């Protein structure tokens, strides 16, 4: 298949599809972190290039629930949320038969439509919790591949990326957004195996 991985600079999903024999390219405004086929620039002009599958990871800064509270305090952010929703809808309308749009829990569920599936890294072999919504067209929901059990803290499940109170362990930093946006390799592998 000819696979476009939109809004990906890590190359993780791209490389999972290449490893299974597909022609795959990542696309992002940033350069790729790993050598491989990568288009650096806006994804919208290349949506009509005959792709069989697109997996899109649109930026979540203005879409995710954890950041939406800032929209009332900083009015310019509300406009950026509207622009982010519009971008997602443009990706979803692309003339590509199979599409997956991935994003954390946020306003897309209420402002666009409910996700077709919510997955967790611990369903795909990673000791981590990160609710990730998938909006699918022409694709079946991903089947979990390997469950990792949590540690229990006062009767509540916690994974290695969480504090005992359930917060994410990554503290504030200049690259926190990039670290939080990375696709877990087990999820990328499941996408390539099940959708490829």
Q: pLDDT, tens digit, for every residue of 141-160?
A: 999 999 999 999 999 999 88
CATH class of 2-195: alpha beta
Q: pLDDT, tens digit, for every residue of 163-184?
A: 787 777 656 666 555 556 678 9
Which pLDDT score is estimated for 140? 98
Residues 74-89, mean pLDDT to the nearest whole number: 86
* Pairing mode, strands 156-158 and 151-153: antiparallel
Does the pLDDT value for residue 9 go beyond 80?
yes
Tokens 């992002």 -> residue: 28
Size (the chain), residues: 196
Which pLDDT score is estimated for 169? 63
Distance CA 54, CA 99 (A): 5
Distance CA 40, CA 7 (A): 10
What would the two tokens of residue 35 be? 């050598």
Which pLDDT score is estimated for 1? 97
| Closest to 60 (Cα-Cα) out of 2, 117, 101, 14 | 101
pTM: 0.89
- Cα→Cα distances 32→14, 15, 162, 175, Å: 11, 11, 28, 15
- Cα→Cα distances 182→3, 23, 128, 187, 189, Å: 18, 21, 13, 11, 14
Residues 6+ apart with CB under 8 A from 81: 62, 63, 68, 71, 107
The structural domains of the chain, with segments of one domain joined by +, span 2-195
Q: Fill in the DSSP letter of residue 170.
A: P
Residues 81-108, mean pLDDT to the nearest whole number: 94
pLDDT tier for residue 59 given thresholds of 50, 70 and 90: confident
* Pairing mode, strands 38-40 and 2-6: unpaired
**Which is more confident, 75 or 126?**
126
């Amino acid at each position: 298949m000819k696979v476009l991985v939109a809004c990906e600079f890590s190359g993780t999903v791209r490389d999972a599809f290449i490893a299974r024999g597909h022609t795959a390219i990542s696309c992002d405004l940033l350069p790729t972190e790993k050598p491989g086929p990568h288009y650096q620039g806006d994804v919208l002009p290349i949506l009509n290039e005959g792709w069989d599958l697109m997996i899109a990871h649109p930026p979540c800064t203005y879409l995710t629930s954890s950041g939406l509270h800032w929209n009332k305090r900083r009015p310019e952010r509300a406009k950026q949320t509207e622009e982010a929703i519009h971008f997602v809808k443009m990706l979803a309308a692309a003339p590509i038969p199979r599409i997956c749009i991935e994003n954390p829990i946020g306003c897309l569920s209420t402002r666009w439509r409910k996700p077709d599936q919510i997955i967790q890294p611990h369903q795909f072999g990673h000791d981590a919790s990160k609710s990730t919504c998938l909006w699918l067209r022409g694709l079946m929901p991903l089947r979990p591949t390997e469950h990792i059990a949590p540690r229990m803290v006062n009767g509540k499940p916690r994974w290695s990326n969480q504090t005992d109170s359930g917060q994410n362990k990554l503290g504030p930093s200049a690259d926190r957004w990039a670290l939080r946006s990375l696709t877990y390799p087990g999820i990328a592998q499941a996408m390539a195996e099940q959708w490829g």
